[in-house]
Amino acid sequence: KKSLFSHSTLLLLLLLCRSGHSDWQSVCPYKCQCFTSLQVLCADERIPQLTKLVFLNNALRSIHSDTFEHLTELRELELSGNPPLDHLYLGTFSKQENLTKLLLNYNSLKTVLPGMFDSLKQLEVLQMKGNLLSGLPPLLFQNLGSLHFLDLSQNRLQNLTEGTFSGLAGLKILRLNNNLISNLTCETLRSVPQLTEELNLKGNRLTELSSLSRLSSLTDLMLAANRLSSLKENSFRNLTALETLDLSDNQLASLPEGIFNALWSISVDAKLIEDQIMIELHGNPWRCDCQLRYLYDWLLTNSSDREILDRMSCQSPGFLRGRTVACFPHSSGQSCIQSAL
């Protein structure tokens, strides 16, 4: 159940101490690190050379702030799968200036104290998915200029402010999927202009979307399973590097004319665009009237694959309900249906 992985040159020994001892820190053996009364890491004088340490799927309740004090050469540290672990003491990672990867997944962390990551200036990967985080203090990541991958998915995050991601100038991947976020403004993402690979907001409570034009190098944008009922014409302006756009399973009945025009510049040859960008629009209550003409024509022109239209279903008008958008009566020169609204 308990697992430790370390540098191959070190001699490690996991000791089982008396679980009933109330002051296990005071009796910690010489040259050992006592994590709990049941988890003790012992090694020779070369323990500072340890570069990788993994505590996965244990039952850690607490980690003393001095636990990793002498492990100054750590590059990778994982403390995941500990359901009782709901907090971290300030200073726990204060000596890990060489750390590049920190995994804190599937614990029960409810909050992270300001300054917790201030010493981790070399950190490149930070994962805290599957916790109980409902908010993040401003400037929490201010010293993480080297971070390129941040995973905060599967938490209870609700409000993100302009200072939430301050300091993350080098971030490339941001995963916020499966949270409770209802609003995301362009100011919130002001600090991550180099977000080049992925912004994942799937499974939140977004009802509107501000312009993402600052993210001109973004390749993957995931907005599925939200509560979006409308989008602005400029929502995706300047996103000319986009390769994947997922808007499935929202409440979209129509899209404004011209919303995808910026994506046209992705391909020199429109016949190849289906190989360069993937758009998912299924699971929305599409209104199959004249307002859908732009979207229908754009998809038909820019993709020789009709499967995307086959996956989209009409919700209205009533006589087209349940039929695929591929049956939209605008093809072959037919007139579209004027909306009664």
Distance CA 190, CA 167 (A): 10
Nearest to 299 by CA among 245, 339, 338: 245
* pLDDT tens profile 299-325: 877 654 568 888 999 999 998 898 998
Average pLDDT over residues 120-127: 98
Contact 186, 163 (CB under 8 A): no
Strand-by-strand arrangement of the 13-15 sheet? 13-15, 39-42, 32-36
For the purposes of burial, counting CB atoms within 10 Å of the CB of 4, is it exposed (0-12), middle (13-18) or buried (19 or more)? Answer: middle
Nearest to 325 by CA among 294, 340, 333, 302: 294
pLDDT (0 to 100) of residue 7: 39
Residue 74 CA neighbour count, 13 Å, CB half: 26
* pLDDT tens profile 183-232: 888 889 989 988 999 999 999 999 999 888 889 999 999 999 999 999 99
* pLDDT tens profile 10-66: 334 333 333 344 455 566 766 666 666 566 666 555 566 889 999 899 889 999 999
Domain boundaries, the chain: 51-205, 212-264+274-329
The answer to whether the 51-205 and 212-264+274-329 domains have the same CATH topology is yes
pLDDT (0 to 100) of residue 39: 61
Q: What per-residue string of b and e applies to 164-197 under the rule 16 or more CB within 10 Å gives b?
A: bbbbbeebbbbbbbbbebeebeeebbebbeebbb
More confident residue, 194 or 151: 151
Q: Given CA atoms 104, 109, 110, 114 in this order, what sign does their dihedral have?
A: negative
Strands 32-36 and 39-42: antiparallel
212-264+274-329 sits in which CATH class?
alpha beta
pLDDT (0 to 100) of residue 29: 66
pLDDT (0 to 100) of residue 23: 57
Contact 195, 175 (CB under 8 A): no
Contact 149, 124 (CB under 8 A): yes
Longest CA pairwise span in the chain (Å):
85
The residue type at 67: T
* pLDDT tens profile 247-296: 999 999 999 998 988 775 444 333 344 455 788 999 999 999 988 888 88
pLDDT (0 to 100) of residue 63: 92
Name the CATH superfamily, with its identifier, for domain 51-205. Answer: Ribonuclease Inhibitor (3.80.10.10)
Q: How many CB atoms lie within 10 A of CB 81?
A: 19
> pTM score, two decimals?
0.84
Does the N-terminal peptide bond of residue 317 adopt cis geometry, omega within 30 degrees of 0? yes
Q: How confident is the model at residue 340 (pLDDT cuts 50, 70, 90)?
A: very low
